[in-house]
Amino acid sequence: MTDASNQKLRANAERGRIAGQASIVAAGTLLSRLLGLVREQVLAAFFTRGETDAFFVAFLIPNVLRQVLAEGAVQTGVLPVLAQVREQQGEARAQAAFQSLRGVSLALLTCVTLLGVWFAPELTQLFAGGYRAYGDQFERTVTLTRWVFPYIFFMGSAALGVAALNTHGRFVVTSYAPGLLNVAFVVCAFGLRGWFVQLGFDPLLALAAGVLLGGVLQAVAQLPSLRAIGYLARPRLDLRDPAVLAVMRRMGPVLVGFGIYYLDVVVARHLLSDMGVGPQSYFTFALRLCDFPQGIFVMAIQSATLPALAAFAARGEFEELKQTFGHGLRLALFVALPATALVVVLAHPLVTLVFERGNFDALTSLETSRALVAQGAGIWTVAIVRQLVVVFYALGDTRSPVWVSGIDFLVFLGAALLLRGPLGHAGISWAITISSISQVLMLWLQLKRRYPIRLALGELLTGTGKLLLATALAVAATAMCRYACAALGPASLGNAATAVVGSLVFVSVYLASCAQLKSPELRSVIDPIRRRLKPRV
């Protein structure tokens, strides 16, 4: 068999593994999101909107830095470099490189944690300066920020472990460990809230304790798997290690790009803080519901695809890289297109069913659903952006996403300033969706212009057309279902029935339509599940 034939077989096997690996990541993420939903329900019911406003901002501050310095570094620098070192220099050298990367990472995370605790007032001013106009809301947020900021240290350490494990195709631990954060949240909210109140402390400190406990648990959960692959040696602070230098070269422009990207987050939260009590919570609860389809499958495909793309790029197999990229994009759209439609059509019933109890009243449901419609309309753009960005990272191009993020921020800022007046807090959510659409267009054009990664557009358009038709049929069936459920009587009963029955009808009609239209993406998703469920003789 020729080298070209062997290469083709290896590439096909790699693409076949992506859906299977994505299913592992998706299952773990599903569990984490379900636990996260329980967490949000506890927050919504047990705490007032002023309390959740303060906590969401305090927790967001270290999370933004975590996503830049931890997940951002892993996706764009550490994982591709480790994959390249393993391919070209062998396993022993990759293990030594990881020791150096771990040492540098821990030193950096320690410095960032100390600075974050010290400069908590300034960070709170940046994210939520409008809180100064609402009693002690600003000082309360500062205190919470100081308590939760060490979370970045534990999660940054865990993120580096993700790079090593995913490079070795180990997705189980990295997929299921995030659920421990949500378990810690719920346990501390139930177990410590009353105790803190009795001692005269802010009950929100129970959630801060949950954050720190969850971070520790996620980092510790990886240790057995890292030991199994030989990546648990003592960290070494070696700034001259070639792998460290390679990651730093990649990370320079990436940090700038992520910084520009998260300007959207900072500006959005700052604008929301000027809108009184509630908008921060409306925005965040809607975001959590959108995270379901984005996190369960879209991010799962990204996590499973990146190691394969990085390996193809390291070997110079660009045709295989192109085919794998196209496969991942179509899989992402298979979930993202119907998810977009489902969230928009059933926004208010879903919010009512999931959250409306305790301190989460009917007005909060209505306002949260307005934010959900706006954010949900952009789920498909997030799916495409995540697939496009990993191609640039796999190719070692960390600059193109930077200038795209800069233009994206300008689009967001203009849309937010234009829409916040007539639409209020929902205008901020619509601005995010509008800017995401512009990001898709710019990344696509840049990839087409700079690299020989030419998708078979006919195949992509045909596949997308089938998905859109299936989605339209599902929307029509759900609309009829919603009309029927509205006649059940009380609004609360009608909304609950619409959310449950409507979702089941939507998913059933969509999958049946995809099967009738012979969508290859449906088979790509189902086949790995069938193989896992098939009895072994």
- CA 340/CA 329 separation, integer angstroms: 16
With 60 as the cut, is the pLDDT of residue 12 above it?
Answer: no
Q: Tens digits of per-residue pLDDT, 48-94?
A: 888 889 999 999 888 887 776 666 666 667 777 887 888 788 888 88
With 70 as the cut, is the pLDDT of residue 200 above it?
Answer: yes
Flag the least confident range among 90-99, 164-173, 302-311, 511-520.
302-311
With 60 as the cut, is the pLDDT of residue 19 above it?
Answer: no
Q: Tens digits of per-residue pLDDT, 333-389?
A: 888 899 999 999 999 999 998 898 888 988 999 999 999 999 999 999 988 888 888
How many percent of the chain have pLDDT more than 70?
Answer: 79
Look at the alpha carbons of 81, 82, 88, 93 in this order and tell me if their dihedral is positive or negative: positive
What is the average pLDDT value for the chain, to the nearest integer? 81
Give the HSE-up count for residue 5: Cα atoms under 13 Å, Cβ half-sphere.
Answer: 2
Flag the least confident range among 373-387, 472-486, 500-514.
472-486
Q: Over range 503-532, report the average pLDDT.
A: 79
What is the band of 486 on the pLDDT scale with cuts at 50, 70, 90? low
Report whether 160 contacts 219 (CB < 8 A).
Answer: no
Domain extents in the chain? 47-250
Packing angle, helices 49-66 and 137-148, rounded to 10: 40
The CA radius of gyration of the chain, in Å to the nearest whole number, is: 23
Report whether 280 contacts 128 (CB < 8 A).
Answer: yes
Q: Chain centroid to CA 474: how far?
A: 26
pLDDT at residue 469, rounded to an integer: 93
| Residue indicated by tokens 């305790």 | 358
With 80 as the cut, is the pLDDT of residue 326 above it?
Answer: no
With 70 as the cut, is the pLDDT of residue 532 above it?
Answer: no
DSSP state letter for 234: P
Two tokens, residue 200: 């005269």
- CA 116/CA 213 separation, integer angstroms: 19
Q: Over range 136-148, report the average pLDDT.
A: 93
pLDDT at residue 282, rounded to an integer: 94
- Determine how many CB atoms are found less than 10 A away from the CB of residue 114: 13
- CA 242/CA 250 separation, integer angstroms: 12
Closest of 383, 519, 526, 528 to residue 21, by C-alpha: 528
361-372 per-residue burial string, b: 16 or more CB within 10 A, e: under 16: eeebbebbbbbb
Closest of 117, 111, 178 to residue 142, by C-alpha: 117
pLDDT at residue 119, rounded to an integer: 94
- CA 403/CA 94 separation, integer angstroms: 32
Better pLDDT: 519 or 468: 468
What is the band of 537 on the pLDDT scale with cuts at 50, 70, 90? very low
Give the three-state DSSP class for 14.
helix
- CA 15/CA 309 separation, integer angstroms: 10
Better pLDDT: 194 or 269: 269
With 80 as the cut, is the pLDDT of residue 192 above it?
Answer: yes
- CA 169/CA 152 separation, integer angstroms: 25
With 90 as the cut, is the pLDDT of residue 213 above it?
Answer: yes
With 70 as the cut, is the pLDDT of residue 529 above it?
Answer: no
